[in-house]
Structure 1
Amino acid sequence: MNKNSLPWEGGCRCGGVRFKVSAPPLLTMACHCTGCQQMTGSAFSLSVAIPSEGFAVTKGEPVIGGLHGATRHYFCPHCMSWMFTRPEGMDWFVNVRATMLDDPGWFMPFIETWTSEKLAWATTPAIHSYAALPPLEAYEGLLKEYRQKAGSPAA
């Protein structure tokens, strides 16, 4: 997989669930919230926001895990890898866990969120940091800046 060409593929640790990404990412991020800390067993989660129409599960059937609320966290039913999230009220994108991509080596978070809950020693190279989530009015500018700085992979 090459960051500069689509499609990308990925899957869970055991290979029981696979997916394909056919649209360029909207944004990359690290989330420091305590929920992500607990679900990853780490200091933060890493994700790539993909337009919903550019994401498809190609093998297996992921199950909903996490808190089972309106925001749906999808896991492999066998190895329980947290693979992607469909945030409540934001059906236009899917947050794919960056480390579930077959080749996540290109990944770098552009923004980091929930720094108000981060572990004191946890740092990322993100360009923008937010104590919680960015204000809604900031997203248009963030998406544009990400496209300019990160470039767009070719389909």
Structure 2
Amino acid sequence: MGMEQQAVEIVETNKPVILQGGCLCGAVRYQLSAKPFDADYCHCKQCQKSSGAVFQVWMDFKREQVTWLKGEVSEFESSDNVRRGFCKQCGCTLSYRDTRYPDYFTLTIGSLDEPSLIKPNYHIYTSNQVKWLSITDDCERYQQERTS
């Protein structure tokens, strides 16, 4: 989290942007007071298993920028220091939290009401990328986690 951050792109719209999101069933809702300071595609095995997809797409915030409007996230300890958040009603994956960095909170871009507004900057854990997935964007790629 102490790494140099790239600017996260908010896709242009003709209306004011209020970033809100939540789970599939609507039991958990959140609002964001700022755009994310970072966003990425993660191809690690844990993201693949926890999402049921071949990668997960995340956006990072300072903890105080996330306001829970309704419900609460249940968490699963997927590894040392890592808590993955989900809705206990519908099972929707919502968050990732590293306990070593308590001031930061990560949310799934797909849980946004308008996920097309946030464009990720880079790919991590591409060493675990499924072989049939062809990445053609111009984002930086890292075999493991990003270290700089």
Structure 1 counterpart SS, 2:50: helix
Q: 5+ unaligned residues in a row in structure 1: which ranges? A: 139-155
Residue 143 of structure 2 corresponds to which residue in structure 1? 131
Query: Structure 2 matches for 1:39-58, cutoff 5 A?
Result: 39-58=50-69
Change in CA separation of 1:119 and 1:101 when aligned onto 2, cut-off 3 Å: same
Give 1 or 2: higher strand fraction.
2
Change in CA separation of 1:109 and 1:92 when aligned onto 2, cut-off 3 Å: same
Q: 5+ unaligned residues in a row in structure 2: which ranges? A: 1-9
Shift of 1:70: 2.2
Indicate the percent of aligned positions where both proteins have the same amino acid.
25
Shift of 1:68: 6.6
Q: Give TM-score scaled by structure 2 length.
A: 0.82
Counterpart amino acid of 2:89?
H
Number of aligned residue pairs: give it.
135
Counterpart amino acid of 2:142?
Y
Instruction: Give CA deviations for 1:58-77 in whole Å, capped at 9, x if unaligned.
Output: 11121112627521111101
> Is residue 61 from structure 1 mapped to residue 61 from structure 2 by the alignment?
no
Residue 153 of structure 1 corresponds to which residue in structure 2? none
The answer (yes or no) to whether the contact 2:43–2:54 under 8 Å persists in 1 is: yes
Q: Give TM-score scaled by structure 1 length.
A: 0.79
Residue 143 of structure 1 corresponds to which residue in structure 2? none
Q: 1:29 aligns with which of 7, 15, 40?
A: 40
The answer (yes or no) to whether the contact 1:6–1:22 under 8 Å persists in 2 is: no
Structure 2 counterpart SS, 1:65: strand
Residue 151 of structure 1 corresponds to which residue in structure 2? none
Query: Structure 2 matches for 1:64-143, cutoff 5 A?
Result: 64-65=75-76, 67=78, 69-124=80-135, 125=137, 127-135=139-147, 138=148
C-alpha RMSD over aligned residues: 1.9
Give 1 or 2: higher helix fraction.
1
